[in-house]
Amino acid sequence: MDVAFFTAWIQEIVRVLAVNRDVLTRLDAAIGDADHGTNLDRGFTSVRQAMTETPQETPGQLLTLVGTTLIRRVGGASGPLYGTLFRQLGKSFGDAREVSLDDLAAAFAAGVEAVKRLGKAAEGDKTMVDALAPASRALSAAAQERVKPEDALERAATAAAEGAKATIPLQARKGRASYLGPRSIGHEDPGAASAALLLSALRP
């Protein structure tokens, strides 16, 4: 997987978020600030512009640029959290021009741990971690089983989607949604939903 692979991933994220912007905003309206979809759409549009203006030569450089741009351009908690995820991916890849499935699984696991630390969140707290962590486990398991990369990415995307849906019956313990207490139950977490969308963009 080279810089072209990850460029295509980011471009697909831009497209998917534009299509689902209003869906994410409606989810956020139920238990948050009603700006999650708008913020992410704006942030990744800025990412696409940055990628065009400053082409990168390696996956690590590209993903570091993505993360830095998100931190600068996206408001609320999602900018720093997603920015941290992508910056950790970039850091893990270093200067390599190509990365393997093992490399991606290890980098993604490190990225999820960085998100957990920053957000002080764990699985079950009704956050993006509820989608990211299962996706990371699925990716790592697939790498260990030596399955084809496209099958591994499919497994990760499926695990993320299932993790996002599993937030519906949970009571939020982090973020603005936690202020609602039991009223947060019955709603899909918008952060988990957007995380699942980001993973869906990795599908072949």
Query: SS in 3 state form for the chain?
Result: CEHHHHHHHHHHHHHHHHHHHHHHHHHHHHHCCCCHHHHHHHHHHHHHHHHHHCCCCCHHHHHHHHHHHHHHHCCCCHHHHHHHHHHHHHHHHCCCCECCHHHHHHHHHHHHHHHHHHHCCCCCCCCCHHHHHHHHHHHHHHHHCCCCHHHHHHHHHHHHHHHHHCCCCCCCCCCHHHHHHHHHCCCCCHHHHHHHHHHHCCCC
Q: How many domains does the chain have?
A: 1
Q: What is the pLDDT of residue 69?
A: 97
**Confidence at residue 86, expressed as pLDDT on a 0 to 100 scale:** 98
Pair of tokens at residue 18: 């534009």
Question: Residues with Cβ < 8 Å from 117, sequence gap 6 or more?
Answer: none
Q: Estimate the share of the chain in helix, then strand, then coil, as percent rounded to the nearest 5.
A: 75, 0, 25
State phi, psi for 98 to the nearest 5 degrees: -140, 145
Q: Which residue has the tokens 């992508």?
A: 86
CATH number at residue 148: 1.25.40.340
| pLDDT in single tens digits along all 204 residues of the chain | 999 999 999 999 999 999 999 999 999 999 888 899 999 999 999 999 999 999 999 999 999 999 999 999 887 789 999 999 999 999 999 999 999 999 999 999 999 999 999 999 999 999 999 999 999 999 999 999 999 999 999 999 999 999 999 999 999 998 878 878 888 899 999 999 999 999 999 987
pLDDT at residue number 179: 73
The residue segments making up the domain with residue 165 are: 3-200
pTM of the model: 0.95
